[in-house]
Amino acid sequence: MATTAPDPEFYYPSEDIVSKAILKDWDGTAAAALKDPAAFWEKEALELEWFSPWNKVLDDSNKPFYRWFDGAKTNIAHNAIDRHLKNFRKNKLALIWESEDGRYDRTFSYYSLNREVSRMANIIKAMGIVKGDRVTIYMGRIPEIVFAMLACAKIGAIHSVVFGGFSVDALHGRISDSESKLVITCDGSFQNGKLVELKSIVDESLKHCPTVENVIVVKRTGNEVIMEAGRDHWYHDLCALPIANGKCATEVMDAEDPLFILYTSGSTGKPKAILHTHGGYMVGTYSTMKYAFDIKDEDRFWCTADPGWITGHSYIVYGPLLNGATVFMFEGGPAFPYPNRWWQLIERYGVSIFYTAPTAIRSLMRFGEAWPNKHDLSSLRLLGSVGEPINPEAWKWFYRVIGKERCPIIDTWWQTETGAFMITPTPVVPLKPGSGTRPFFGQNAEIVDEEGNQVEDGQEGYLVLTNPWPSMLRTIYRDPDRYVNSYWSKFPGKYMTGDSARRDKDGYYWIIGRVDDVIKVSGHRLGTAEIESALITHTAVAESAAIGLPHEVKGQAIFCFVQLKPGFAPSESLSEELRQHVAHHLGPIARPEEVKFIDKLPKTRSGKIMRRVLKARAQGLPEGDLSTLED
């Protein structure tokens, strides 16, 4: 970057990292891409295969409904799998997997990945699923979740993956909103040695989901499950049918055809079904993966996220496979049975790029350096962080103890909606702990005030993106008005991220956090509205408000305030019961840290809950302007 003498504020990459990087001239590339983003993206797109070319790279004639590579034909599965079968990558490992208990590992070359995906695709097709149909996938972190996603893509079905840590209400809402015809699940999953009964959660969710005709069940845990005749089918039984075997043609898709929907939480109301496409999403994930993670054939890439979140979609499945990379996927979490589990896996599989979340780093830091120091971590070359701001203390620990001061930390800022990285360094960019550095090629970010005017460097404001980009969400599925209102109406012509941030004198961006009612608990995105609607289904609850408060390990934790119905009295046990209630309905990730009882929720005269007042009160901070308070 522009600095001549080393600035002590920066962490510079080594000569070795720079000389081997795919992209050495960051400044030149960034400047050129900013001048002509479409030209940059066209060049990236040309590295992939298309069945027929586009008319125009970017069609912005109907803003904010941008279209990318319009008129072109392709299929993301063709580029993630089929095209690699024509060269040496046919025999290269695509996916390596280890079970939580370490008793099993499974490996798949690109050739065998193709066989697995084709088999699943044949089966899905035989169930009557055609191009454009929605398929809900609700599974643990096992190879079949990857096969299921790619199988849908291959035949043009729209996948909707629901994170396995969600429960009945969340799953039911997502299946019925998407009108899925098929659910792919497994008999259960393991979490810290305990069985999670995914199939029975599916059974409960399907009680009122008339669109679902079939359920495919992958056997993972071997526990007893109820199979409803005519509806539920064991995957291994289906695999034995002649129909499952044989080739499966990859469907020719329009670049703008939907690839998947993924539900994410917004400020209000029910979760939003974010829609991504075959063409643009493919180019965005391919290019960001290549430059930010500098991915090469000799790498082994491990992203610890779950495929049920966008991070898993883009950087376990699509981004790495589009680049022909080798992906490692682990079924379990960081500290089971011991806090060295991840470090042991890095050593065992020779992981070279390790991408995780600040909350995990903070929790592992607490166990001390002795755990990672037991292991040879010298295979590591790059580290990555995502999901929430990383505090400098955690950054430095990660850098020193895990990366041994050799590995740049790629702090990637992005969202479900952006599909791919928007603010991120590449390995050649000097780093500052806690900053995602600068916008990715072709993108420009501004910090603006309430009126949309840019604030001065150093000041906090709303983070907006000013340029359209290929992997941007196209809409909220079947709700285009909500798409416009949520992202494009507060600052016309600019994409509102929902985050606040500041930019420093060097042009580096520092994310502060969400400015809406989205809570990031251990990096997981949850809406106050979802938590409140789970609480309200309990007989004792009249009204409730959920807020996020700072938490040392989780980043933010959920606190709830509940107003009870007449006839119910506050008690320790009721508070505990309500926490359980939320966990049962929404999922264990949404279990409130605390449920407190309150006589009356603070509201504006128009009836809106003043969460800001609750937040201040809970932290013993000044409550600010109360002039709009109802009484």
Helix (H) or strand (E) holding 580: helix 572-585
Give yes or no for residue 387 binding ligand WT7 (CB under 6 A).
Answer: yes
Structure-block tokens of residue 117: 């995906």
Beta strands (DSSP E) in 458-554 are: 461-465, 475-476, 495-503, 509-514, 518-521, 524-527, 541-551
Considering only the stretches 284-292, 318-326, 412-420, 473-481, report the one whose residues sit in contact with ligand WT7 under the rule CB under 6 A. Answer: 412-420
Q: Which of residues 467, 497, 528, 533 is near ligand WT7 by CB under 6 A?
A: 497
Give yes or no for residue 386 binding ligand WT7 (CB under 6 A).
Answer: yes
- Provide, rounded to whole angstroms, the least separation between the CB of residue 565 and ligand WT7: 34
- Provide, rounded to whole angstroms, the least separation between the CB of residue 187 and ligand WT7: 28
Give yes or no for residue 416 binding ligand WT7 (CB under 6 A).
Answer: yes
Q: Please, which residue, 188 or 555, has the CB nearer to ligand WT7? A: 555
Q: Please, which residue, 360 or 386, has the CB nearer to ligand WT7? A: 386
Question: For residue 262, what are the β-bridge partners?
Answer: 274
Give yes or no for residue 389 binding ligand WT7 (CB under 6 A).
Answer: yes
- Residues sharing a CB contact under 8 Å with residue 234, sequence separation 6 or more, in sequence order: 217, 219, 227
Q: Please, which residue, 416 or 443, has the CB nearer to ligand WT7? A: 416
Q: Please, which residue, 54 or 395, has the CB nearer to ligand WT7? A: 395
Q: Give me the torsion for CA of 18, 21, 25, 30, rounded to 10°.
A: -120
Considering only the stretches 339-347, 494-502, 599-607, 615-623, report the one whose residues sit in contact with ligand WT7 under the rule CB under 6 A. Answer: 494-502
- Provide, rounded to whole angstroms, the least separation between the CB of residue 169 and ligand WT7: 19
Question: For residue 74, what are the β-bridge partners?
Answer: 253
Look up tokens 């702990």; give the residue: 433
- Provide, rounded to whole angstroms, the least separation between the CB of residue 264 and ligand WT7: 5
Considering only the stretches 162-170, 244-252, 406-414, 568-576, report the one whose residues sit in contact with ligand WT7 under the rule CB under 6 A. Answer: 406-414
- Residues sharing a CB contact under 8 Å with residue 424, sequence separation 6 or more, in sequence order: 288, 292, 410, 411, 412, 413, 414, 436, 437, 440
Q: Please, which residue, 264 or 443, has the CB nearer to ligand WT7? A: 264
Site for ligand WT7 in 427-466 (CB under 6 A): 436
Give yes or no for residue 511 binding ligand WT7 (CB under 6 A).
Answer: yes
Q: Which of residues 498, 527, 548, 587 is near ligand WT7 by CB under 6 A?
A: 498
Give yes or no for residue 514 binding ligand WT7 (CB under 6 A).
Answer: yes
Q: Please, which residue, 215 or 274, has the CB nearer to ligand WT7? A: 274
Q: Do residues 311 and 304 lie in contact, with contact meaning Cβ atoms separated by under 8 Å?
A: no
Task: Pick the closest to residue 382 from 362, 403, 364, 398 (CA basis).
Answer: 403
Q: Which of residues 75, 264, 522, 528 is near ligand WT7 by CB under 6 A?
A: 264
Helix axes 143-155, 110-126, angle to 10 degrees: 60
Considering only the stretches 94-102, 169-177, 341-349, 491-499, report the one whose residues sit in contact with ligand WT7 under the rule CB under 6 A. Answer: 491-499
Q: Do residues 160 and 137 lie in contact, with contact meaning Cβ atoms separated by under 8 Å?
A: yes
First to last CA, the chain: 55
Considering only the stretches 39-47, 246-254, 493-501, 529-537, report the one whose residues sit in contact with ligand WT7 under the rule CB under 6 A. Answer: 493-501
Site for ligand WT7 in 149-178 (CB under 6 A): none
φ and ψ at residue 321, rounded to 5 degrees: -70, -35
Give yes or no for residue 556 binding ligand WT7 (CB under 6 A).
Answer: no
Q: Do residues 334 and 342 lie in contact, with contact meaning Cβ atoms separated by under 8 Å?
A: yes
φ and ψ at residue 208, rounded to 5 degrees: -125, 50
Q: Please, which residue, 117 or 274, has the CB nearer to ligand WT7? A: 274
- Provide, rounded to whole angstroms, the least separation between the CB of residue 497 and ligand WT7: 6
Give yes or no for residue 508 binding ligand WT7 (CB under 6 A).
Answer: no
Helix axes 528-536, 572-585, angle to 10 degrees: 120
Q: Which of residues 84, 89, 520, 538 is near ligand WT7 by CB under 6 A?
A: 520
Q: Please, which residue, 117 or 447, has the CB nearer to ligand WT7? A: 447
Q: How many residues bind ligand WT7 (CB under 6 A)?
A: 22
Give yes or no for residue 258 binding ligand WT7 (CB under 6 A).
Answer: no
Considering only the stretches 151-159, 276-284, 360-368, 380-388, report the one whose residues sit in contact with ligand WT7 under the rule CB under 6 A. Answer: 380-388
Q: Please, which residue, 178 or 415, has the CB nearer to ligand WT7? A: 415
CB atoms within 10 A of CB 122: 22
Site for ligand WT7 in 290-349 (CB under 6 A): 310-311
Strand, coil or helix: what is 276? strand
Q: Please, which residue, 167 or 415, has the CB nearer to ligand WT7? A: 415
Task: Pick the closest to residue 442 from 117, 32, 2 (CA basis).
Answer: 32
What's 597's DSSP letter? E
- Provide, rounded to whole angstroms, the least separation between the CB of residue 531 and ligand WT7: 15
Q: What angle do CA 265, 268, 274 make, to 5 degrees?
A: 40
Max CA pair span of the chain: 72
| Binding region for ligand WT7 (CB under 6 A) | 264, 310-311, 385-389, 411-416, 436, 497-499, 511, 514, 520, 525
